[in-house]
Amino acid sequence: MTNPQFTYYPGQVFFHGSTGRAMGTKFDALVRGLSESVSSRIWDEICALVRGDEAVFDRYSPESEVFAVNKALEAGTPVRLSEELEQALVQSGRYKELTGGLFDITRRDFSALKLEDHCLSCSDTGTELDFGGFAKGWTLGRIVGLLRREGVVSAFLDFGMSSIYAMGQHPAGAPWQVELRSPYDGTLLDVFCLQDGALSISGNSPSYSAHIVDPRSGEPVRSRRLCSVQCADPLDAEVLSTAAMVCGGKLEIDDTVIKSYEV
Amino acid sequence: MEDRREFLKQLGCVAGGAALLAGAPWLSSCTPERIREISGEKARIALIGTGSRGQYHIHNLLLIPHARIVALCDCYEPNLQAAAALCPGAKLYRDYRKLLEDKDIDGVIISTPLGSHAAITLDALSAGKHVFCEKAMARTLDECKAVYDAYRKSDKVLYFCMQRMFDEKYLRGMKLLHDGLIGEIVGMRCHWFRNADWRREVPSPELERQINWRLYKEHSGGLMTELACHQIEVCNLAVGRIPQSISGMGDIVYWKDGREVYDSVNVIYRYADGRKINYESLISNKFNGMEDQILGKKGTMELAKGVYYLEEDNSRSGIECLIDSMKEKVLTSVPLAGPSWRPEVKGQYIPHNIVEGKISVNGGQNMIGVDNDGSDVILSAFCSACITGEKAVNVVEEAYCATVLCLLGNKAMEEQRTILFPEYYKIPYMKF
């Protein structure tokens, strides 16, 4: 994480925290109803949480746990997982089942992984863990939990525009509203009303395309498409938006609004 | 073709369109009024040179209501037959001189190797044909002068395919530049990078120079005439001036395969007031793609991408808009959702679109041509002019200036010295 910023607005009783670069993007929090001192403390805790999750999930950082795990898997050596990574791995296995294989953190064959007695091993030495379509939703869920424990009832949390959670209402007394615009030409694609719910967007853009891989074929998804997922849980939204991109938006899950946009 | 139609419909019809037309008078042959005037009429068009670029033009011509392809000519039989398959009923010629004798042809489109542009253009004008020729204008400075002089004396229409002059994002960008959006223009940087050898498959060794003509000086000015020509023209339009001196270095760095033209060029064009075009082209690395970048005191415009950036940008990010709405307690939807934000490489610069709505961006990798880059619009304008006889304002002059500057770039590189623009090749259109 680089240069976290904190600004308190006493007149309107909310704070804005921004992480600078974090988890490959940036994180912004707008949290209402807390005193400045409590806001400051909570923002520090959020930053610590984000830093901690970066240290677990960032597969490009030689200091991260996933980097070390991938090295061990490459060498064919069983590796002990932290409690958080083990939970995330188990959870990601459930998502593979839920999506019928559209989401797979190995991007090829999750079933090659073997988790036994907190140790991970793999029958295929080419397998790597990639929590790219998972970690932001995971961290966002943990931040929502932290804020709820502190009694926060209104907040807007935004991980790089693609993973959003809105708690309660906007100060104007209505659900939070966000627009989705085409990254190619700025065309308005949709307006979402969010209240105690998550929104995740996956897709390709002119500056960042073919980054989602279809685990069934190993091929990158190149279509000029965005998929949005609106549901209660930020991790569900994060994972399902990636899965929706893989299947061209043709995904149906209970209590979840999934849309696809050709751009 | 939808984008082109929408763009053209706006010319003269809406406030912005009229202003655009005033700054780009060469568009007059493709205004809705002009197209209405020639409704039902068809220009009888012949193509001389039916290789890949000629066939690209055929695909565009088939969508132009006021054009009819009546004849095709190529000295290479496979290309002629490929084009014939696209244009059933068109007469076929192997010698362009025979084609020019055909009285049932109004205009010819020349898509042959650069070395033959001047001869065919001059013959076609002499034969009383309207002419549309691929850029660059000609292979040598003297040929350029001969074509320009012939055009001045001719009552025929002459176009060179300077398609950026007909590309909406360039036209609107140019209007914004001239309105001062990015302040005083202080410099220009243009580049065109590819990672390909520029070769085509040759079925028989004796056809090497005919098919791979771009690689040999007899036929080609290399990267300067094939690529830089478009970009130098854009820079000149942006500043309304012609560079006074030229220096540069050219080399064959990677493709040492018997070719004669450089595969790596760096050329600096200097205007009288000290502003410069820094031009670079390389065909053994494509990382930087293609761009025409205009640098202003207050901002930067990237015309190929259709975006601009401001040095001091007061526009608000989505999260800033949301903070404002929270302060005001006024609910507004904010543009916050999208595919994941990535850290910008260039600090805090925010890209702004020159044109709202969908645009076509040419990454510069296709050797033949791309959709909606202005090539279809300029062709439509030419076909319209074949019917009305309306000469193209400034198109020949711009093609002349850009081609001469590219040839002078080659000369500067070959002679390894700074060249001043020669008096002999100056024309009244040029302002230095």
Length of chain B: 432
CATH of domain A169-263: 3.10.520.10
> Which of A14, A181, A187 is nearest residue B357 as measured by Cβ atoms?
A187
Q: Which amino acid is at A47?
A: C
Residue B3 — pLDDT band, cuts 50, 70, 90? very low
Tally of structural domains, chain B: 2
Q: Which residue of B has its CA nearest to A224?
A: B339
Q: Do B361 and A206 touch (CB under 8 A)?
A: yes
CA–CA distance, A91 with A157 (Å, rounded to integer):
22
Residue B67 has pLDDT above 70, yes or no: yes
Q: Which amino acid is at B139?
A: R
CATH number at B46 reads 3.40.50.720
> Which residues of chain B have a CB within 8 Å of the CB of A24?
340, 342
User: Domain residues of chain A, as ranges?
Assistant: 1-59+131-160, 65-122, 169-263
* B237/B353 same-domain check: yes
Q: What is the pLDDT of residue B243?
A: 98
3-state SS assignment for residue B211 = helix
Residue B314 has pLDDT above 70, yes or no: no
Q: DSSP letters of B299-339?
A: EEEETTTTEEEESS-----HHHHHHHHHHHT----EEEESS
Q: Where are the beta strands (DSSP E) in B334-410?
A: 334-337, 352-353
Contacting A with CB below 8 Å, chain B residues are 318-319, 322-323, 325-327, 329-343, 353, 356-359, 361
**Dihedral class, residue B314 (left if φ above 0, else alpha if ψ from -120 to 50, else beta):** alpha
CA–CA distance, B248 with B313 (Å, rounded to integer):
35
CA–CA distance, A55 with A235 (Å, rounded to integer):
19
CA–CA distance, B248 with B204 (Å, rounded to integer):
36
Q: Which two tokens stand for residue A200?
A: 């995740």
> Which of B337, B341, B353 is nearest residue A192 as measured by Cβ atoms?
B337
Q: Do A184 and B332 touch (CB under 8 A)?
A: no
Is B325 contained in some domain?
no
* B302/B357 same-domain check: yes
Q: What are the phi and psi torsion angles at A244 (to 5°)?
A: -65, -40
Q: DSSP letters of B94-110?
A: SSHHHHHT-TT--EEEE
* B41/B159 same-domain check: yes
| pLDDT digits 0-9 by tens, B353-382 | 787 655 666 666 676 666 668 888 899 999
Q: Do B329 and A12 touch (CB under 8 A)?
A: yes
Q: Which two tokens stand for residue A84?
A: 């958080």
Residue B40 CB contacts under 8 Å (≥ 6 apart), including other chains = none
Q: Does A242 touch chain B (CB under 8 A)?
A: no
Residue B235 has pLDDT above 60, yes or no: yes
**Dihedral class, residue A24 (left if φ above 0, else alpha if ψ from -120 to 50, else beta):** left
CATH number at B403 reads 3.30.360.10
Q: What does each of the 263 residues of chain A score in pLDDT, given as a tens digit?
A: 767 889 999 999 999 999 877 887 889 999 999 999 999 999 999 999 999 999 999 888 888 999 999 999 999 999 999 999 999 999 999 999 999 999 999 988 899 999 999 999 998 878 899 998 899 999 999 999 999 999 999 999 998 888 999 999 999 999 999 988 887 777 889 999 999 999 999 987 766 666 788 888 888 888 888 999 999 999 999 999 999 999 988 888 989 999 999 88
Are B272 and B158 contacting, i.e. CB atoms less than 8 angstroms apart? no
Q: What is the pLDDT of residue B346?
A: 47
CA–CA distance, A24 with A19 (Å, rounded to integer):
11
Q: Which two tokens stand for residue B161?
A: 């395919």
Are B395 and B159 contacting, i.e. CB atoms less than 8 angstroms apart? yes
Q: What is the pLDDT of residue B15?
A: 42
Q: What is the pLDDT of residue A181?
A: 85
* Structural domain boundaries, residue B290: 181-311+345-366+398-425
**Radius of gyration of the CA atoms of chain B, in A:** 22
